[in-house]
Amino acid sequence: MAKFLLIPLIAYCLIVAALVLSQRHFLYPAPPAGGGVPIGFTAIEYPTSDGLTLRAGYRAAAPDRPTIVYFHGNGADWQSSVVATDRLVPAGYGVLAAEYRGYQGNPGNPSEKGLYSDGRAAIAWLQQQGVDRSNLVMIGNSIGGGVATQMASEGAAAALVLISPFNSLSQLVAEKMPWLPTSLLLRDHYRNDQKLAEIDAPILILHGDADTLIPVGHARQLAATNNAAQLEIFPGAGHDLAWQDSAERRVLDFLNGNAGKLTALENPSE
């Protein structure tokens, strides 16, 4: 009997050890590097505080229009952010399609702390180009919502849009793997739920009710943390919501509808 009990225990310990050692490989499945520079965008480089140089893409805003800093999901790249903003660019919005360490041939290894550093580096580069922090809109898709939320919590957003976000990575992983002590094993947590309540800016949260990767309940929980947050659920939409025209139109309506607030934030003395 002891031998029969020992075998599954050893197997369980091996699974736990494998997940502990390789969790960031699963959390950040960067696609193969490749792809050119989309028309209208420029390839840019900016340094991080820990000595990396990241490559990303940029398109300047039309006069008096905000600039979007777009943080993509964990299995995507900055070129996919261009596709997800193709209805915003014709309206004059600028886009910095941010990229992460370890993605698209960039040096370094992804982590929560590292991605936050990468987000700050993108914002610092924009400031060097004369784009003020108060003229920035943060948009984050999936795990990129964690980076966007962190940047907004640091005061770097006139508005925040989260698409298919999780309430926290800790909660999501615990739901996916209830048989593991994830609270003890997980290195990256992305506590969006703790940060969103403190953000004083227009907030839009979009989620599909057919999303099987991040259940729609996460978006509802997030929206409940901030009374100012607008929540829209898209019937039948999955985790690819960010690239659907209906989501892009909703983001455009949200930004245009908050144009007066964004202008007020750009000109706080008026």
User: What confidence tier does 25 reach under pLDDT thresholds 50, 70, 90?
Assistant: confident
Give the burial string for 180-219 (b: 16+ CB within 10 Å, else e).
bebeeebebbbbbbebbeebebbbbbbbbeebeebbbebb
Is pLDDT of 268 > 50? no
Which H/E stretch holds residue 44? strand 42-47
Position 28 in a domain:
no
CA 185, chain centre distance (Å): 23
Position 76 in a domain:
yes
Position 189 in a domain:
yes
pLDDT at 210: 98
> Can you say whether the dihedral through the CA atoms of 187, 191, 192, 193 is positive or negative?
positive
Q: Each residue of 228-238: pLDDT tens digit?
A: 999 999 999 99
CA quadruple 206, 209, 215, 217: dihedral, nearest 10: 70
User: What confidence tier does 18 reach under pLDDT thresholds 50, 70, 90?
Assistant: low
Average pLDDT over residues 109-121: 97
Domain span holding position 82: 44-266
Position 211 in a domain:
yes
What single-letter amino acid sits at 152?
A: A
Q: How many domains does the chain have?
A: 1
Position 225 in a domain:
yes
User: What confidence tier does 1 reach under pLDDT thresholds 50, 70, 90?
Assistant: low
Position 30 in a domain:
no
Average pLDDT over residues 127-137: 93
Position 102 in a domain:
yes
CATH assignment of the domain containing 150: 3.40.50.1820
Position 38 in a domain:
no
69: left (phi over 0), alpha (psi -120 to 50) or beta: beta
